[in-house]
Amino acid sequence: MKIGELSSHTGLSASAIRYYERVGLVPAPHRSGGQRRYSEEATHRLLLIRFAKDMDFTLGEIKVFLSGLREKAPVGPRWRKLAHLKINEVDEKMQRSRKLKSLLKHMLECHCASLQVCVERLSLSSRLKDVRGGYASKKIMRGSALRS
């Protein structure tokens, strides 16, 4: 199939398909009359790449998963290995998202007279750098911060 057809089947732009070829995620197709002609396997591979990207896998992780993968190769062991790595990452993101949600809820109730007062009530003045790393004040999580 031509690149336009492949684009329609996968929901990826032709430029994205060519990029994935260039970085080695999709094997270079054979050419006929100067045009790329893709096999059905390319459709499956690109749909997998698109799904993995949507699920926050990096191109590097996708490349590791796809390297040496043939149409009939079992994918279970590779999925399990990547799944274990991603589960930890997702857990960390979920924990950070819960903390962010809690902080935002408290910000909705904030009646502090100044930014300085807010920072002091959040007990962030000395640990502000820890918020990015996921170690925000326990007061935030218990819901006692920002109550005036």
How far apart CA 100 and CA 83 sit, in angstroms, is: 25
Burial of 8 (0-12, 13-18, 19+ CB in 10 A): exposed
Catalogue all structural domains in the chain, each as residue range(s) with its CATH number.
Answer: 1-73 (1.10.1660.10)
CA atoms within 13 A on the CB side of 83: 6
**What are the residues whose beta carbons fall under 8 Å from the beta carbon of 34, sequence distance 6 or more?**
none
Query: Residue 57 is which amino acid?
Result: F
- Written as six digits, the tokens of 138 are 């326990």
How far apart CA 7 and CA 10 sit, in angstroms, is: 5
Asked if residues 37 and 28 have their Cβ atoms less than 8 Å apart, the reply is no
Residues forming beta bridges with residue 32, ordered by sequence position: 35
Residues forming beta bridges with residue 36, ordered by sequence position: 31
At 77-127, the pLDDT tens digits run: 767 777 888 899 899 999 999 988 888 887 788 888 888 887 777 766 555
By three-state DSSP, how is residue 35 classified? strand
The DSSP code for 28 is P
At 5-35, the pLDDT tens digits run: 999 999 999 999 999 999 999 988 989 888 8
By three-state DSSP, how is residue 39 classified? coil
The predicted pLDDT at position 18 comes to 94
The predicted pLDDT at position 111 comes to 83
